[in-house]
């Protein structure tokens, strides 16, 4: 589990370390950090005169909190881009807020070898402080990050040059294909879809697989539907992995891992956002489902919110902390998942065996039963993704019907008593009847902890023992 380091509070290294420590305590172990070209090579100074001091302080704060760094090597540089240099000499050099469209530093370098030289210097400077290098960010959303328009062949050349450059100082550190944005509904800034862009880069260079070790992607839901709802022509947030794997497999690269280096839901009820409670549910569901789908890294966007008087800047509210520094329920959902599933490995998808519904396009309704194991203990994550494509977003989210839907389930268990933990950490104990417990599943996930090693010995999941004598007769199963 990782986080993006946007809007982290603290003016000093010590204060920022304390902020990062809040994530560490919730189970996070890495921070995806921008180490942008224009941040480490001052604009207007002699070329190739790097200054890493500001980024060094941030890396120190992250490492002091016990976290590792996923380094993002990104964007252009006005001194190395004709278009970027022209824009830099105008009043519009910083772009148009709030997304800073057309900023001078976003225009790609004229020569990808120049980007590679910056990448090599940065990788050599940080060495093993960084556990992976990601080459660019959402390069398929050209209006934002590769202006004036995305260019798959140009990105393929840049990726291969940067890969070779980064590997020279440290061949062991993995290099990631830059995080592909997953637009859904048509939008002016969406650019080329992630799968289409990946295919186009392979078309430009059929041997592209030699230029990255893993593929990063950003499966945002646009508009902000639930992770599981299937939208024709886009699929779902969860099915994004299958779409990308299919393209990799066609080019002989099906064994490459997929990393999610950004995903999230803003808590903005005036625009496309979701309520804080729904953000927390989606966090819990993404945690369980993506690791079950063999996605080894899940990186949340982002640490904190910032003030937005307009109420319409969705970028301002993706955080797990509010602008005042208080935690949203999503942090508790993350912390609960970490505590319950620590040391467990995914074992099997039990949804079909339990007769759970598979859901319908746009309408949702898919049931989940994902079994993890830790030694003899079985932990099953259960939920009903009942949201439709229009539920739980924007001004309609407060009175949506999805959260009120329930489904009765009889879950086989081995222990006499099991612990059922809500996604926000509230536990309760249930006694099995005929080897089953009866549950009602809903969009809010439940985690059933079944310590089967103690079956028949009268010991529950927390070691409490029934006396055996004077026991109340068992009630009939219902």
Question: Phi/psi zone of residue 262: left (φ > 0), alpha (ψ -120 to 50 degrees), beta?
Answer: beta
Backbone angles phi, psi at 69, to 5 degrees: -120, 130
Q: What is the pLDDT of residue 470?
A: 43
- Across the chain, mean pLDDT equals 91
Is the distance from CB of 381 to CB of 398 less than 8 angstroms?
no
Distance of alpha carbon 56 from alpha carbon 14, whole angstroms: 14
Q: Which residues of the chain have pLDDT under 70?
A: 183-189, 270-271, 392-404, 453-478
* pLDDT score for 458: 35
Q: How far apart are CA 307 and CA 309, in angstroms?
A: 6
Q: What pLDDT is stored for residue 427 in this prediction?
A: 98
What is the Cα–Cα distance from 103 to 99, expressed in whole angstroms? 9
Give, in degrees to the nearest 5, the angle at Cα 341 between 337 and 343.
Answer: 140
DSSP string, 320-350: SB-TTSPBPHHHHHHHHHHHHHTT-EEEEE-
CA 284 to chain centre: 11
Sign of CA dihedral 406, 410, 411, 417: positive
Report pLDDT for 369: 98
pLDDT for residue 401: 57
H/E stretch holding 21: helix 13-25
Q: Which of 330, 218, 194 is nearest to 274 (CA)?
A: 330
Cα 285 from Cα 274, distance rounded (Å): 15
Contacts of 470 (CB under 8 A, 6+ apart): none
Distances 5 to 17, 61, 76, 177 between C-alpha atoms, Å: 12, 11, 20, 20
Region of 288 (left: φ > 0; alpha: ψ -120 to 50; beta: rest) is: alpha
The Cα 278–Cα 265 span in angstroms is 9
The predicted structure's pLDDT at residue 466: 39
Q: Given this model, what pLDDT does residue 399 score? A: 44
Query: In angstroms, rounded to a whole number, what is the distance separating the alpha carbons of residues 282 and 357?
Result: 19
Give the Cβ contact number of residue 326 at 10 Å: 8
pLDDT of 463: 35
Interior/surface letters 448-459, b for 16+ CB within 10 angstroms, e for the rest: bbbbbebbeeeb
Tokens read off for 76 = 């252009």
Torsion angle (degrees, nearest 10) of CA 260, 34, 200, 212: -70
pLDDT score of 98: 78
The pairs formed by 16-20 with CB atoms below 8 angstroms and a separation of 24 or more are 16/58, 16/61, 17/61, 17/62, 17/64, 17/65, 18/65, 19/303, 20/61, 20/62, 20/64, 20/65, 20/67
- The H-or-E segment that residue 176 falls in is strand 175-181
């Amino acid at each position: 589990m990782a986080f993006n380091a946007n809007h982290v509070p603290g003016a000093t290294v010590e204060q920022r370390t304390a902020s990062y420590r809040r994530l560490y305590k919730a189970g996070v172990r890495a921070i995806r950090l921008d180490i942008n070209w224009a941040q480490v090579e001052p604009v207007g100074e002699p070329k190739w005169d790097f200054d890493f001091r500001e980024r060094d302080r941030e890396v120190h704060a992250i490492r002091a909190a016990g976290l590792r760094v996923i380094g993002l090597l990104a964007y252009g540089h006005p001194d190395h881009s004709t278009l970027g240099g022209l824009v830099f000499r105008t009043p519009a050099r910083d772009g148009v807020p709030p997304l800073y469209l057309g900023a001078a530093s976003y225009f790609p370098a004229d020569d990808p070898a120049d980007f590679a030289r910056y990448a090599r210097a940065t990788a050599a400077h940080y060495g093993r402080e960084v556990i992976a290098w990601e080459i660019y960010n959402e390069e398929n959303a050209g209006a934002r990050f590769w202006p004036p328009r995305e260019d798959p062949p140009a990105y393929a050349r840049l990726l291969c040059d940067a890969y070779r450059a980064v590997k020279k100082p440290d061949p062991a550190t993995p290099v990631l294909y830059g995080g592909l944005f997953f637009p859904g509904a048509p939008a002016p800034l969406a650019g080329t879809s992630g799968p289409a862009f990946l295919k186009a880069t392979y078309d430009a260079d059929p041997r592209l697989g030699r230029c990255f070790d893993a593929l990063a992607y950003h499966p945002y839901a646009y508009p902000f539907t639930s992770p599981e709802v299937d939208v024709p022509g886009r699929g779902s947030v969860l099915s994004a992995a299958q779409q990308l794997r299919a393209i990799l497999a066609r080019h002989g690269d099906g064994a490459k891992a997929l990393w999610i280096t950004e995903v999230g839901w803003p808590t903005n009820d005036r625009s496309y956002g979701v309520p804080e409670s729904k953000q927390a549910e989606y966090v819990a569901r993404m945690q369980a489902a993506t690791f079950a789908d063999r996605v080894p890294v899940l990186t949340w966007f982002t640490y904190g919110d910032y003030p937005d008087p307009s109420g319409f800047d969705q970028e301002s509210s993706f955080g797990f902390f509010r602008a005042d520094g208080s935690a949203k329920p999503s942090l508790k959902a993350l912390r609960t998942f970490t505590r319950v599933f620590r040391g467990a490995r995914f074992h099997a998808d039990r949804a079909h065996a339990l007769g759970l519904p598979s859901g319908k396009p746009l309408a949702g309704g898919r049931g989940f039963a994902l079994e993890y194991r830790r030694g003899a203990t079985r932990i099953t994550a259960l939920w009903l993704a009942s949201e439709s494509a229009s539920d739980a977003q924007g001004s309609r989210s407060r009175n949506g019907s999805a959260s009120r839907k329930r489904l009765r389930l009889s879950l086989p268990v081995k222990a006499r008593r099991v612990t059922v933990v809500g996604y926000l950490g509230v536990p309760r104990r249930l006694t099995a009847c005929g080897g089953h417990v009866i549950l009602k599943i809903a969009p809010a996930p439940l985690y059933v902890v079944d310590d089967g090693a103690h079956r028949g010995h009268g010991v529950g999941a927390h070691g409490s023992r029934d006396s055996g004598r004077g026991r109340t007769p068992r009630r009939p199963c219902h």
